[in-house]
Amino acid sequence: MRDNHIYASYAIVPPQIDRSKPAHKQSDPTLYAGVVKERDDGIVISGAQQLATGGPISDYIHLSCIHPLQPGDENYANCVAVPVAAEGVKLYPRRSFARAGSAFDFPLSSRFDESDAYVVFDNVFVPWEHVFIYRNIELSRDQWFKTPSHSYGNHQAQVRYVTKLRFMTGLAQRMNEMTGNAGAPPVQVMMGELASLATIYESMLLAHEVAAPIKDGVLWPSVLTLYAAMALQSELNGRMLEIIRELAGSAFITLPSSEADFGNPAIAADLERYMRSGTTDAKSRVALMRMIWDFIGSEFGSRHQQYEKFYGGASFLVKTNVYRNYDFKRATGLVDRALKLPPLE
């Protein structure tokens, strides 16, 4: 992939059909993507899998399963690489949030929307050289956690998120400066909270690396620090966006309908007079407010809010990962030592 500039997206979560039943007990054995036939030269896959972000622009789909599988689910315990152009591969992406020709009004969604897609495998042939795990429940599970793949995959997501938080904080500060509120004590308090949370995440990102053990010559980002950050992220991301909403007030809902309004001579003069700020002209102010709205309030922004809450799994799963990796023995050892303190004279 690296040497040939191949872009792959992954589909590793089964459809949300009936989560009360394991894969092999669904009403139809081909609802979840799994092997339906073995041939001398490879296997045949049928069923669906989600959530292939960037699938429509990928070269390959990495199909596997990160959900726990049970005995009987062997047909779904695979790891394969499938060309997007392979016969029988169908992609069903959500409606795009991009707005063609509206870069001013939708500065982020027109440039950076990622297409999330359902992948349907309709008797797709996969040659053996593209099959890495085959009908092996234990290996299917261990590929994520007995290698650094889950740690590295989520570490890069935290690198992305920390950069995103810095951008978020910059948007809020530019808005405050533009409206003349940057020096107001209540605004500084809210910005201090926003900056504190952004700094906590960046510090935890650095801790992933500083506390990372080296196993067999490979650095594994610290899973305890990583999962702790992810557990906080799912709950605090909404608070950070809410701070910006509080700072903005009615600014987002009193903007002109589109950039075209500035080209209408009947209303342009009013826009220039009443929608400017003390430091910028009207069009520059509207451009910044459009960008902030696209970040937190548009379909694009709402998708990102949902993504940050669940990309690493449901909150209870992430917290369970923290529980499994925390050194409770060390913590309870302190309690035991305290209980054994000698009596006071």
185-213 tens-digit pLDDT = 999 999 999 999 999 999 999 998 899 99
288-298 tens-digit pLDDT = 999 999 999 88
Residues paired with 47 in a beta bridge: 121
Contacts of 9 (CB under 8 A, 6+ apart): 52, 53, 54, 55, 58, 60, 61, 62, 117
Q: CA 184, CA 101: separation in Å to the nearest integer?
A: 38
Grouping H, G, I as helix, E, B as strand and the rest as coil, residue 94 is: coil
282-339 tens-digit pLDDT = 999 999 999 999 999 888 888 888 888 887 777 888 889 899 999 999 999 999 999 9
Residue ranges and CATH numbers for the domains of the chain are: 8-143 (2.40.110.10), 147-333 (1.20.140.10)
Q: Are strands 42-53 and 60-63 parallel, antiparallel or unpaired?
A: unpaired
Encoded amino acid at 186, one letter: P
Q: Is 194 in contact with 169 (CB distance < 8 Å)?
A: yes
Question: What confidence score (pLDDT) does residue 101 get?
Answer: 64
Length of the chain: 345
119-164 tens-digit pLDDT = 999 999 999 999 999 999 999 999 998 898 888 988 998 999 999 9
Contacts of 195 (CB under 8 A, 6+ apart): 169
Q: Is 136 in contact with 328 (CB distance < 8 Å)?
A: no
Q: CA 300, CA 110: separation in Å to the nearest integer?
A: 9
Q: What is the mean pLDDT of residues 99-108?
A: 81
Q: What is the mean pLDDT of residues 99-119?
A: 84
Question: What confidence score (pLDDT) does residue 23 get?
Answer: 87
Residues paired with 90 in a beta bridge: 120
User: Average model confidence (pLDDT) for the chain?
Assistant: 91
Q: What is the DSSP string of 174-206?
A: HHHHHHT-TT-HHHHHHHHHHHHHHHHHHHHHH
Question: What confidence score (pLDDT) does residue 100 get?
Answer: 63
**Residue 17 pLDDT > 70, yes or no?**
yes
Q: What is the pTM of this model?
A: 0.86
Q: Is 58 in contact with 7 (CB distance < 8 Å)?
A: yes
Q: Is 312 in contact with 230 (CB distance < 8 Å)?
A: yes
Q: Is 304 in contact with 146 (CB distance < 8 Å)?
A: no
Grouping H, G, I as helix, E, B as strand and the rest as coil, residue 188 is: helix
Closest listed residue to residue 121, CA positions, set 6, 32, 22? 32
229-275 tens-digit pLDDT = 988 888 888 899 999 999 988 888 888 888 888 889 999 999 999 98
